[in-house]
Amino acid sequence: MKAWVAPRYGPPEVLELQELPDPQPGRGEAVVQVRAIGLNFADCAARMGVYPRVPRPPFVPGMEVAGDVVAVGEEAEPSLVGARVAAVPIFAGHAEAVRVPVSHLRPLPAGVDYVTAAALAVTGITADHGLRTVGRLRPGERVVITAAAGGVGTMAVQMAAAAGAQVVAVASTPAKRELAARLGASATYGYEEYATAVQGGVDVIFDSVGGRLFRTGWRALRGDGRYILFGFAAAVGPRRVRWLRSVWELASMGVVIPALLVSPCRTLAGFNLSLVPHLAAEMHERFDRLLAAIQGGTLRAVVGTTVPFAELPRAHALLQGRGSVGKVVVTVP
């Protein structure tokens, strides 16, 4: 099979298309013939060597795919062979085939195509888990969503609006803010207007950017306010991690003293779903609910760009350079 290999950590152009042995399923595993790859900012972080538990080079990045099960190992249900699935291998998904634990894949219903599935699994579950479980979002609350026109952001805006929340979307360009408004945001702001965006108080902040935004948002939280931090995009430049900028952004966040969380009744929570595999059963339930919403027309996967497999590094550069809107999906022939 062909796969995009990172022979070393670095910018998008380090990726090399190589011929690798076809994967063979182990116990409790399946092999998925990949038809579409959902690109996530986590894939860029892994390529640069700054994602949790990233393998040592050389390795194949790629945490989200959709395709067909072509083989299963021992203790895996044989009837899975031939099934159309969404799968989350965490790593090794930038390939024509990938080996995945059966617990990390989910069959697709008729009518949900590979591109939609590849745009839904990681982003949809992240938004759903972050807003519903970690953020405990309630109807009528005011929620601020950063990177609101990205893969997770477009899902989060739709979900929060459907839950009856007042959605404040923060995005970098007028086109991205316009998209957020179409998806249900009641107000949109640029990052230079962030202080205005949180003015008047906020109940929930759903943030993948972090850095200097944190302190401003944290101070704006109302009583029982919840700050959900699930990324640190402020540290990443168009090609690589900006280490000096990272230190400055981290210092700008200030210090949270646990004892001082009591009086203002605020909650600070962080999460990374790739680090909680024991929640797989719960994630299956979430994904099934997302699929039902997609089929029912109450949720849509916003795919801004599709890129052919032969040009996968270009997709990395587009996403990391903040040139994309919605989800970036790579199609595999």
The contacts of residue 44 (CB under 8 Å, 6+ apart) are 12, 236, 316, 319, 320
Q: What is the pLDDT of residue 237?
A: 84
pLDDT digits (tens, 9 = 90+) for 128-175: 999 999 999 999 999 999 999 999 999 999 999 999 999 999 999 999
pLDDT at 81 over 90: yes
Q: What is the pLDDT of residue 279?
A: 85
Please state, for a pLDDT cut of 70, what percent of the chain lies above it: 100
Task: Provide the residue type at 81 as one letter.
Answer: V
Mean per-residue pLDDT, 69-94: 97
What is the DSSP annotation of 63-77? Answer: --EEEEEEEE-TTS-
Q: What share of the chain is helix, strand, coil (3-state, %, to 5)?
A: 35, 25, 35
Q: Are 15 and 47 in contact (CB under 8 A)?
A: yes
Q: What is the pLDDT of residue 28?
A: 96
Q: How far apart are CA 77 and CA 72, in angstroms?
A: 7
CATH no. for 2-120+301-331? 3.90.180.10
Q: What is the pLDDT of residue 258?
A: 86
Q: What is the pLDDT of residue 48?
A: 97
Q: In angstroms, how far is CA 251 from the centroid of its own chain? A: 25
Backbone angles phi, psi at 160, to 5 degrees: -65, -40
Please state, for a pLDDT cut of 90, what percent of the chain lies above it: 86
pLDDT digits (tens, 9 = 90+) for 229-286: 999 998 898 888 888 888 989 898 988 888 878 888 999 999 998 888 888 888 899 9
Q: What is the pLDDT of residue 192?
A: 96
Phi-psi region of 75 (alpha: psi -120 to 50; beta: other; left: phi over 0): left
Which comes out higher in pLDDT, residue 8 or 283? Answer: 8
Mean per-residue pLDDT, 111-131: 96
> Average pLDDT of the chain?
95
pLDDT at 108 over 90: yes
Superfamily of domain 124-273: NAD(P)-binding Rossmann-like Domain (3.40.50.720)
Q: How far apart are CA 245 and CA 265, in angstroms?
A: 31
Structural domain boundaries in the chain: 2-120+301-331, 124-273
Which comes out higher in pLDDT, residue 249 or 99? Answer: 99
